[in-house]
Structure 1
Amino acid sequence: MPHHQFVLTLSCPDLPGIVSAVSTFLFDNGQNILDAQQFDDTETGQFFMRVVFNAAQTRVTLPVLRELFIPVAERFMMRWQMRDRGNRRRVLLLVSKSDHCLVDLLYRWRTGELEMTPTAVISNHPRDTYEGLDFGEVPFHYLPVSKETRRQQETAISGVIAHTKTDLVVLARYMQVLSDEMSGRLAGRCINIHHSFLPGFKGAKPYHQAHERGVKLIGATAHYVTGTLDEGPIIDQDVERISHRDRPEDLVRKGRDIERRVLARAIRYHLEDRVILNGKKTVVFVD
């Protein structure tokens, strides 16, 4: 299967011979390297690598390759995964009233830009909130939440995640704070999007607050969710200039555009195994 591709990602202490060991292993097992990227973090002494490969001569199944790679991984104390790129990750979308990111992600999925399988859409607002939005065959779950029912609602969300065998959860402008317990269960597999301002504006109508302070740049940040609100490892960011002529509604409109493209990029990077956690940061091997 010369066209069938696999991807190996790894991180480990930086030691001599890692690249040689990986490339030799793939060669010895009949694999051909199609793309390889690496990064040596001199501050932490950690090494990161992403390799895309396929079968050159011999046909070795992925489970066998994984088993054979274990001695190499143990020698260099690697945290690693080896995955078939043909297996699409299963993605669950959480959304609140604002649906611009949800609409955009469903469009990018339908056009093939995001190679994923949506498992469900969960909202704390009823389905008629999204009148005119075609969910197709993607299941929709209305799970309202209040301060008193948060634990029960998160239990229901966890049930949907388990039942659908979801790999990645996306907070597509989901305006509820996940509990520390929920954030911990989803560590490294839950992506959030939020506005980015300097100074930071929290609470209601952040774009209106930014307008009142005369900000010159607005932006958005996509990051992995952690127990600390909006402080998880950053995957992608973008900004746009604002002038004194822009009204609050202009900031909202431009902000929606930035949020859409930043979230889509972050999800694509994750789906393509381009993101490797590096403590509180990430290494992102862009194409």
Structure 2
Amino acid sequence: MNNPVLPSWVLTLVCADRVGIVAGVSQFLADRGGFITDSQQYADREAGRFFMRVAFEATDERMTATEQLQAEFNAIGARFAMDWLITSAREKPRMLLAVSKGSHCLADLLHRWQTGTLAVDIMGVVSNHPDMRRITEWHGIPYHELPPNGDKGAQEAALLDIFDRTRSDYLVLARYMQVLSETLVGQLEGRCINIHHSFLPGFKGARPYHRAHERGVKLIGATAHFVTADLDEGPIIEQAVERVDHRATAEDMIRIGRDIEAQVLARAVGWIADRRVLLNGGKTVVFR
């Protein structure tokens, strides 16, 4: 006889650091038959902030509905003035992807999603070019081409409309080569993720790999971060580097850089999907 799959949840919280938080959360779960499968916490002593992620599952009928858990946890949240969230472990974040002409990050995310290794729901792909339509629709995902046509405001309004209509939780810029306006960034605060090469700020603009090659750069990297009004300077989620030497051509560096970008973005999106990333002012706490 097969045992039924037990319902499970993830609790994340941020609050002022003080004694009793872990005990309060643990007692709340124990009183309802909650079995903790993973628990991580971090106290930022400089900022006086406490961060916690708890994955737990039910052991009996006392824990069945997410809404009931949320209602009952309100008292704990109020006692410690927490910014908290309880979600079903089966609930997948809804993500809208944005891309221009580069396929490496988009193709990697679509492959991981299709093979079930990226626990998100991809609601669509938006682009300012037609190039990625074929690969997107091959995966059965809607493609929305939004050429700027000299009207950036209208383009961004259309993007935001798609984001809202699909009830997306996050916008992922998978090499979307458009600078978002401060207005749009403000509307998507904490919900927009970007990837870029880590030559910034040293090699901005066009052909950064060629200019890095001319300078003999020895490390190639990529950074995934939340988007803010400060271009390419939002809270960092993940980074990686790979060493190169004098034998690497500019084309070698481009190839290596694209691979790193795809891997770093996929890790960042995966951690967000698993509720492992919490904002901490201008930086993040990532429970791995």
* TM above 0.5: yes
Could you tell me which residue of structure 1 aligns to residue 27 of structure 2?
24
Give me the whole-angstrom Cα distance separating, in 1, the residues matched to 2:75 and 2:200: 48
Corresponding residue to 2:11 among 8, 12, 15: 8
Change in Cα spacing, 1:138 to 1:132, as seen in structure 2 (3 Å) is closer
Cα deviation 1:217-237 (Å, max 9, x = unaligned): 010000001111001100000
Change in Cα spacing, 1:138 to 1:131, as seen in structure 2 (3 Å) is closer
In the alignment, residue 76 of structure 1 is paired with which amino acid?
F
Give me the whole-angstrom Cα distance separating, in 1, the residues matched to 2:158 and 2:132: 21
| Residues 125, 136 of structure 2: 8 Å contact kept | no
Corresponding residue to 2:250 among 248, 251, 264: 248
Alignment of 1:170 with 2:157, yes or no, is no
Residue 59 of structure 1 and its aligned partner are, at CA, apart by 3.1
Residue segments in structure 1 that go unaligned for 5+ positions in a row: none
Could you tell me which residue of structure 1 aligns to residue 221 of structure 2?
219
Cα deviation 1:94-135 (Å, max 9, x = unaligned): 000111100110000001110111111111001xx2376252
**How many corresponding residue pairs?**
283
Q: Counterpart of 1:166 in 2: which secondary structure? A: coil
Cα deviation 1:235-279 (Å, max 9, x = unaligned): 000000010110100000000000000000000000000000000
Could you tell me which residue of structure 1 aligns to residue 161 of structure 2?
159
Q: Which runs of 4+ in 1 moved over 6 A?
A: none
Measured on the aligned residues, the alpha-carbon RMSD in Å equals 1.3
Q: Which stretch of structure 1 is more off in the superposition, 273-282 or 81-90?
A: 81-90
Q: Counterpart of 1:133 in 2: which secondary structure? A: helix
Give me the whole-angstrom Cα distance separating, in 2, the residues matched to 1:268 and 1:200: 29
Q: Which stretch of structure 1 is more off in the superposition, 192-201 or 180-189?
A: 192-201
Could you tell me which residue of structure 2 aligns to residue 84 of structure 1?
88
Could you tell me which residue of structure 2 aligns to residue 42 of structure 1?
45
Give me the whole-angstrom Cα distance separating, in 1, the residues matched to 2:96 and 2:77: 31
Change in Cα spacing, 1:284 to 1:140, as seen in structure 2 (3 Å) is same
| Residues 223, 233 of structure 1: 8 Å contact kept | yes
Give me the whole-angstrom Cα distance separating, in 1, the residues matched to 2:222 and 2:233: 13
Could you tell me which residue of structure 2 aligns to residue 64 of structure 1?
68
Corresponding residue to 2:152 among 147, 150, 154: 150
Cα deviation 1:140-198 (Å, max 9, x = unaligned): 0110015x310000000011011111111100000000001101111111110000027
Give me the whole-angstrom Cα distance separating, in 2, the residues matched to 1:100 and 1:19: 42
Residue 62 of structure 1 and its aligned partner are, at CA, apart by 0.9
Corresponding residue to 1:267 among 253, 259, 269: 269
Could you tell me which residue of structure 1 aligns to residue 125 of structure 2?
121
| Residues 2, 56 of structure 1: 8 Å contact kept | no
Give me the whole-angstrom Cα distance separating, in 2, the residues matched to 1:74 and 1:218: 46
Give me the whole-angstrom Cα distance separating, in 1, the residues matched to 2:134 and 2:34: 48
Residue 47 of structure 1 and its aligned partner are, at CA, apart by 0.5
Q: Percent identity over the alignment?
A: 53
Could you tell me which residue of structure 2 aligns to residue 139 of structure 1?
142
Could you tell me which residue of structure 2 aligns to residue 232 of structure 1?
234
Corresponding residue to 1:205 among 197, 204, 207: 207
Give me the whole-angstrom Cα distance separating, in 2, the residues matched to 1:77 and 1:59: 24
| Residues 92, 161 of structure 1: 8 Å contact kept | yes
Change in Cα spacing, 1:198 to 1:94, as seen in structure 2 (3 Å) is closer
Q: TM-score normalised to the size of structure 1?
A: 0.96
Q: TM-score normalised to the size of structure 2?
A: 0.95
